[in-house]
Structure 1
Amino acid sequence: MAGRSKKKGTSGAAKNYITRTRAVKKLQISLPDFRRLCIFKGIYPREPRNKKKVSKGSTAATTFYYTKDIQYLLHEPLLAKFREHKSVAKKIGRALGRGEAGDAARLEKNLMPKVKLDHIIKERYPTFVDALRDLDDALSMLFLFANLPSSEHIPAKTIALCQRLTREFEHYVITSHALRKSFLSIKGIYYQATIQGQDILWLVPYRFVQRTGGDIDFRIMGTFVEFYTTLLGFVNYRLYTSVGLVYPPKFNAKSDEQGGELAAFQLEGKANATNGATNGHDDDMAINPEAQAMADRIAAMPDVDDEEEQVMTDVAADDEEDQNTEGIDKFEPTAPDADILPQPQASSSEVASLFAPFTFYLSRETPRASLEFILKSFGCKRVGWDSILGDGAFTTNESDPAITHQIIDRPPLENGAPAPREAENGSSPTAQWPHSTMPGRTYVQPQWVWDCLNQGRLLRPDLYAPGAELPPHLSPWVKPKKGEYDPNLPLEAQQPDGEAEAFEEMADEDEDAFEADDDDDDANMDAVTDREGSVEVGEGMDIASNDDEDDDEDSESDADGGADDFDGFEDSDAESDVSEGEAARLQHQRELEAEATGKKIEVKAPTKQEQNAAIRKKFDKKKRQEEEERDRQKMMLSNKKRKLLKRIEYGENKRDTESENLRRKRARLEKAKAAAERG
Structure 2
Amino acid sequence: MGKQKKKGQSGQAKNYITRTQAVRKLQISLPDFRRLCIFKGIYPREPRNLKKASKSATHSTTFYYTKDIQYLLHEPLLGKFREQKALEKKIARSLGRNEVQDAVRLEKHGMPKIKLDHIVRERYPTFVDALRDLDDALSLLFLFANLPSTTEVPAKVISRCQRLCHEFEHYLIATNSLRKSFLSIKGIYYQATIQGQDIMWLVPYKFVQRVTQDVDYRIMGTFVEFYCTLLGFVNYKLYTSIGLVYPPKFDTASDERGAELAAFTLEGRQVAGSIAQTEEQQTITNGHAQNGNTEAMQAQIDKIAEDTPAEEDAKQDEQADDQPETEAIDTFTPAVPEGDTLPQLDLTSDEAARLFSNLTFFISREAPRHPMEFLLRAFGCKRVGWDKVLGEGAFTHDETDARITHQIVDRPAPTQPLPTFQGQESATDQTLQVVKPGFIMPGRIYIQPQWIWDCVNEGKLLPTNVYAPGETLPPHLSPWIKPTSGQYDPRATLEEQEAEGEADAAADEQVEEDETPEDVDENDSEDEASEEAVEFDEEIDAGGMDVAGSDDDSEDEAGIEDDTFAGFADDAALEESDVDEEAEHQKELEAEAAGRPVKSIVKGSDKNTKAIKARKIERAKKNEEVERQKMMMSNKKRKLFEKMEHSNNKRDVNAEKLRGKRRKLEKTGRR
TM-score, reference length from structure 2: 0.79
- Letter of the 1:82 partner, please give it: F
Using a 3 Å threshold, how does the CA distance of structure 1 residues 171 and 426 change in structure 2: closer, same or farther?
closer
* Secondary structure of 1:192 counterpart: strand
- 1:309-351 residue CA offsets vs partner (Å, 9 max, x unmatched): xxxxxxxxxxxxxxxxxxx999998985689799898654223
Shift of 1:618: 2.5
* Aligned mates of 1:5, 1:341 — CA distance in 2: 61
- Letter of the 2:417 partner, please give it: A
* Aligned mates of 2:110, 2:424 — CA distance in 1: 69
* Aligned mates of 1:341, 1:77 — CA distance in 2: 51
Using a 3 Å threshold, how does the CA distance of structure 1 residues 163 and 304 change in structure 2: closer, same or farther?
closer
- For residues 296-307 of structure 1, the aligned pairs below 5 Å read 296-299=278-281
Percent identical? 59
Q: Please, which moves more after superposition, 68-77 or 640-649?
A: 640-649
Give structure 2 stretches of 5+ with no counterpart: 289-328, 428-432, 524-535, 550-556, 558-564, 579-600
* Contact 2:286/2:394 (<8 A) preserved: no
- 1:665 alignment partner in structure 2: 661
- 1:154 alignment partner in structure 2: 153
* Contact 2:142/2:161 (<8 A) preserved: yes
* Aligned mates of 1:666, 1:330 — CA distance in 2: 34
Corresponding position: 1:399 with 2:400: yes
- 1:82 alignment partner in structure 2: 81
* Aligned mates of 1:342, 1:223 — CA distance in 2: 40
* Secondary structure of 1:35 counterpart: helix
* Contact 2:8/2:14 (<8 A) preserved: yes
- Letter of the 1:132 partner, please give it: L
* Contact 1:249/1:267 (<8 A) preserved: yes
- 1:227 alignment partner in structure 2: 226
Using a 3 Å threshold, how does the CA distance of structure 1 residues 401 and 585 change in structure 2: closer, same or farther?
same
* Aligned mates of 1:67, 1:343 — CA distance in 2: 47
Corresponding position: 1:496 with 2:493: no
- 1:447-505 residue CA offsets vs partner (Å, 9 max, x unmatched): 00000010011111110111100000001111122211111111111112222222122
- 2:626 alignment partner in structure 1: 630
* Aligned mates of 2:223, 2:286 — CA distance in 1: 41
Using a 3 Å threshold, how does the CA distance of structure 1 residues 20 and 304 change in structure 2: closer, same or farther?
closer
- 1:477 alignment partner in structure 2: 480
- Letter of the 2:359 partner, please give it: F
Shift of 1:435: 2.3
* Aligned mates of 1:124, 1:579 — CA distance in 2: 85
TM-score, reference length from structure 1: 0.78
Shift of 1:580: 11
- 1:233-266 residue CA offsets vs partner (Å, 9 max, x unmatched): 0000000001000000000111001000000000
Using a 3 Å threshold, how does the CA distance of structure 1 residues 22 and 583 change in structure 2: closer, same or farther?
farther
* Aligned mates of 1:663, 1:361 — CA distance in 2: 38
Corresponding position: 1:51 with 2:50: yes
* Aligned mates of 2:345, 2:3 — CA distance in 1: 74
Using a 3 Å threshold, how does the CA distance of structure 1 residues 117 and 514 change in structure 2: closer, same or farther?
farther
* Contact 2:400/2:435 (<8 A) preserved: no
* Secondary structure of 2:515 counterpart: helix
- 1:213-243 residue CA offsets vs partner (Å, 9 max, x unmatched): 1111000000000000000000000000010
- For residues 157-236 of structure 1, the aligned pairs below 5 Å read 157-236=156-235
- Letter of the 2:249 partner, please give it: K
Using a 3 Å threshold, how does the CA distance of structure 1 residues 110 and 586 change in structure 2: closer, same or farther?
closer
- 2:324 alignment partner in structure 1: none
Shift of 1:432: 3.1
Shift of 1:642: 2.4
Shift of 1:97: 1.0
* Aligned mates of 1:475, 1:71 — CA distance in 2: 46
* Contact 2:286/2:383 (<8 A) preserved: no
* Aligned mates of 2:380, 2:34 — CA distance in 1: 45
Paired residue total: 574
- 1:385 alignment partner in structure 2: 386
Shift of 1:60: 4.8
- 1:647 alignment partner in structure 2: 643
* Secondary structure of 2:192 counterpart: strand
- 1:98 alignment partner in structure 2: 97
* Aligned mates of 1:644, 1:656 — CA distance in 2: 18
* Secondary structure of 1:582 counterpart: helix
* Secondary structure of 2:385 counterpart: strand
- 1:349 alignment partner in structure 2: 350
* Contact 2:176/2:353 (<8 A) preserved: yes
Corresponding position: 1:458 with 2:461: yes
* Contact 1:14/1:56 (<8 A) preserved: no
- 2:419 alignment partner in structure 1: 421
Q: Please, which moves more after superposition, 130-139 or 472-481?
A: 472-481
- 1:441 alignment partner in structure 2: 444
* Aligned mates of 1:27, 1:625 — CA distance in 2: 73
- Letter of the 2:6 partner, please give it: K
Using a 3 Å threshold, how does the CA distance of structure 1 residues 631 and 136 change in structure 2: closer, same or farther?
same
Shift of 1:638: 2.4
* Contact 2:286/2:395 (<8 A) preserved: no
Give structure 1 stretches of 5+ with no counterpart: 274-288, 306-327, 521-554, 570-576, 591-604
* Secondary structure of 1:92 counterpart: helix
Corresponding position: 1:366 with 2:364: no
Shift of 1:20: 0.2
- 1:582 alignment partner in structure 2: 570
* Contact 2:286/2:393 (<8 A) preserved: no
- 2:616 alignment partner in structure 1: 620
- Letter of the 1:299 partner, please give it: Q
* Secondary structure of 2:440 counterpart: coil
Using a 3 Å threshold, how does the CA distance of structure 1 residues 579 and 63 change in structure 2: closer, same or farther?
farther
Shift of 1:57: 5.9
- Letter of the 1:423 partner, please give it: F
- 2:265 alignment partner in structure 1: 266
Corresponding position: 1:20 with 2:19: yes
- 1:74-100 residue CA offsets vs partner (Å, 9 max, x unmatched): 110100110011011110110111111
